[in-house]
Structure 1
Amino acid sequence: MSDAAQPSAAEVRAAAEAVKSALDRHLAAIEGRSGSDDPAVYAAFDELAAAAEAYDELLYDTYDEVTPFEIPGSDNLPAYAGPAEPSALSVLIRRDYTVADPQRLLSQAERAAELGTAPFDGAREAAGGGGGVHAALGALFGEYEPDEIASRHQEFGLEEGDSTLWVCAVDEPAEPGEWLSAPFDQADPQQVVCRFDVSSLFDEELDSDDRDDEPLGALRRER
């Protein structure tokens, strides 16, 4: 950034004052909240997050310094617009993997098949074809819970990628089979109560001397 484009010291000071005011409003909203999910608290949280982010950016641009604050996810999701006290929830989970060791994957799938509950036949013979990997994945995910695969992914020849978990409020419980044909189409970011992201990108940012625009940390948003 050129000197002409740099924020002035007065702008940084004004941003700091905005953070102080937002802190006062946030505390007042908490002290006067009507319940555990008071929308006023959510609004004050978002205002504080925006003020802190603006101050952090101005501070860095002007003085090449940063704050110790990590208010997660302020720019990743819109303001919460769901019910104050949700009576039903949807939990949306995405986990990405790469097949790092196909032979290990096939071997583990054969072992799962031996347990008698996961269909799999001839994994080693099919090691060179996509069908073998497809069948192996079907056998593993048919035998083990997704959380167990996540905790044992290296054992299964998988390399963990990014993951995210959204807890969303819904107006009423879904009818059996209602959303099975398109399970993620109705996800509404404004209904997200809390969100947790995990990515190696965050570790790289923490280890880097360069400052990215994204907030650091595995937790992206928590209400």
Structure 2
Amino acid sequence: MSDAALPTVAEVRAAAEAVKAALDRHLAAVESRIGDEDPAVYAAFNELAAAAEEYDELLYDRYDEVTPFEIPTPEDGVAYTGPAEPAAFSVLVRRDYAVVEPARLIAQAERVAAHDRDADLDDDGGTAGALGVLFGEYEPDEIASRAKDFGLEEGDSTLWITASEEIAEPGEWLGSPFGHVDPQDVLHRFDVSSVFDEEADEFDDEPDPDPHGESAAPGLTPA
């Protein structure tokens, strides 16, 4: 960054004062909170996080220094700002699968079609039609629990719980079920991925710091 683009001393000081004021507002909100999920505390938290981030950036740009503060946020980096007491919520689920045994998948669909007149398997007998038959017959959770039986291999999956003030009108979102999700309304998120197992394996592969196989307490060096 050129000197001309550096924040001024006054700008850095103003950002520091903003952090101080945000700290006071946050403390006041906490002291007067109503219930465990008071929206005033959420709002003060987000204001403090924004002020601290702004100050940290200006401090680094001007003086090449950082603060010791770290405001916790969800893994995707988006803080929840939805209703503290949601009156309604939506559950959004995505599960990925690989078709590893097409013949098994099609055979399962043919069995369903043979006993159910409403289960129409396409004439081409391909996997696309088989998927339509199976998901029309079984609940997604059952298919997930029996993925191998259907010739499928599970990939990543995620489940989001999004909060709202009121339930949507019938048919309101059916045309675009995932198109109007605000990341800041995601109340809870649960991710499942093999990448997490790989990260755990990397830690497991690290050598034991004690050649005798005894683990030392943090910060201590074995004699």
TM more than 0.5:
yes
C-alpha separation in 2, matches of 1:78 and 1:98: 30
Please tell me whether residue 155 in structure 1 is matched to residue 149 in structure 2: yes
| RMSD of aligned Cα (Å) | 3.3
Identity, % of aligned pairs? 58
State the match for 1:120 in structure 2. Answer: 121
What do residues 44-81 of structure 1 show as CA deviations (whole Å, max 9, x unaligned)?
A: 9x97xx9xxxxxxxxxxxxxxxxxxxxx9734141111
Letter in 2 for 1:182: S
Q: 1:208 to 1:90 in 2, by over 3 A?
A: same
Q: 1:97: Cα distance to partner?
A: 0.4
Letter in 2 for 1:119: D
Letter in 1 for 2:201: D
Secondary structure in 1 aligned to 2:155? strand
Q: Which runs of 5+ in 1 are unaligned?
A: 1-24, 51-71, 211-223
C-alpha separation in 2, matches of 1:76 and 1:121: 41
Secondary structure in 1 aligned to 2:76? coil
What do residues 135-155 of structure 1 show as CA deviations (whole Å, max 9, x unaligned)?
A: 000000000000111111111
Please tell me whether residue 88 in structure 1 is matched to residue 88 in structure 2: yes
Please tell me whether residue 164 in structure 1 is matched to residue 165 in structure 2: no
State the match for 1:99 in structure 2. Answer: 99
Q: Is the CA contact 1:104–1:156 (under 8 Å) kept in the aligned structure 2?
A: yes
State the match for 1:111 in structure 2. Answer: 111
State the match for 1:175 in structure 2. Answer: 169
C-alpha separation in 2, matches of 1:87 and 1:161: 33
Please tell me whether residue 146 in structure 1 is matched to residue 105 in structure 2: no
Please tell me whether residue 194 in structure 1 is matched to residue 188 in structure 2: yes
Letter in 2 for 1:37: E
Letter in 2 for 1:110: E
Secondary structure in 2 aligned to 1:154? helix
C-alpha separation in 1, matches of 2:79 and 2:153: 34
Q: Is the CA contact 1:96–1:160 (under 8 Å) kept in the aligned structure 2?
A: yes
Q: Which runs of 5+ in 2 are unaligned?
A: 1-25, 53-71, 205-223
Letter in 2 for 1:140: L
C-alpha separation in 1, matches of 2:36 and 2:133: 43
Q: Is the CA contact 1:92–1:166 (under 8 Å) kept in the aligned structure 2?
A: yes
Q: Is the CA contact 2:80–2:184 (under 8 Å) kept in the aligned structure 1?
A: yes
Q: 1:32 to 1:104 in 2, by over 3 A?
A: farther
Q: 1:33 to 1:199 in 2, by over 3 A?
A: farther
C-alpha separation in 1, matches of 2:195 and 2:91: 24
Letter in 1 for 2:132: G
Larger radius of gyration: 2
Q: 1:114: Cα distance to partner?
A: 2.7
Q: Is the CA contact 2:96–2:154 (under 8 Å) kept in the aligned structure 1?
A: yes
Q: 1:209: Cα distance to partner?
A: 4.2
Secondary structure in 1 aligned to 2:200? helix
